[in-house]
Amino acid sequence: MAQTNRNRPKCDEEAGGREHFEDAALYDFEYRRRRADVTFYRRLADERGGPILDLACGTGRLMLPLLRDGHTVVGLDRSLAMLSRAAARVTRLRGSRRAQALLMRGDLRAFAFRPRFAFAIAAFHSVQHLVSNADLLAFLRAARRSLVAGGWLAFDVLAPDPTWTARDPARRWARTTFRHPTTRQRLVYTTNHSYDARRRALHIRLYYAPIDPAGHAAGPERVVRVCHRQLAPDEVASLLARAGLDLVAQYGGFDGRPLDGECDEHIYVARRSPSEDRRRSSGNPTKLA
Q: For 214-224, what is each residue's pLDDT tens digit? A: 989 999 999 99
Is residue 203 within 8 Å of 194, Cβ to Cβ?
A: yes
Percentage of the chain surpassing pLDDT 70?
A: 92
Query: 51: cis peptide before it, omega within 30°?
Result: yes
Say what the pLDDT of residue 288 is.
28
Of 28, 29, 120, the residue nearest 66 (C-alpha): 120
Q: At what angle do helices 233-242 and 133-146 cross, to 10 degrees?
A: 50
pLDDT digits (tens, 9 = 90+) for 146-205: 999 999 999 999 999 999 999 999 999 999 999 999 999 999 999 999 999 999 999 999
pLDDT in tens, 46-104: 999 989 999 999 999 999 999 999 999 999 999 999 999 999 999 999 889 999 999 99
Beta strands in the chain (DSSP E): 52-55, 73-77, 101-105, 117-122, 147-158, 173-179, 186-196, 201-210, 222-229, 245-251, 265-272
Q: What is the pLDDT of residue 283?
A: 54
pLDDT digits (tens, 9 = 90+) for 218-257: 999 999 999 999 999 999 999 999 999 999 999 999 999 9
Helix (H, G, I), strand (E, B) or coil at 1: coil
Provide the 8-state DSSP code for 167. Answer: S
Q: What is the DSSP letter of 286?
A: P
| pLDDT, tens digit (0-9, with 9 covering 90-100), for 98-108 | 999 999 999 99
pLDDT band at 260 (very low <50, low <70, confident <90, very high): confident
Q: What share of the chain is helix, strand, coil (3-state, %, to 5)?
A: 35, 30, 40
Q: Which CATH superfamily is domain 34-160+231-281 in?
A: Vaccinia Virus protein VP39 (3.40.50.150)
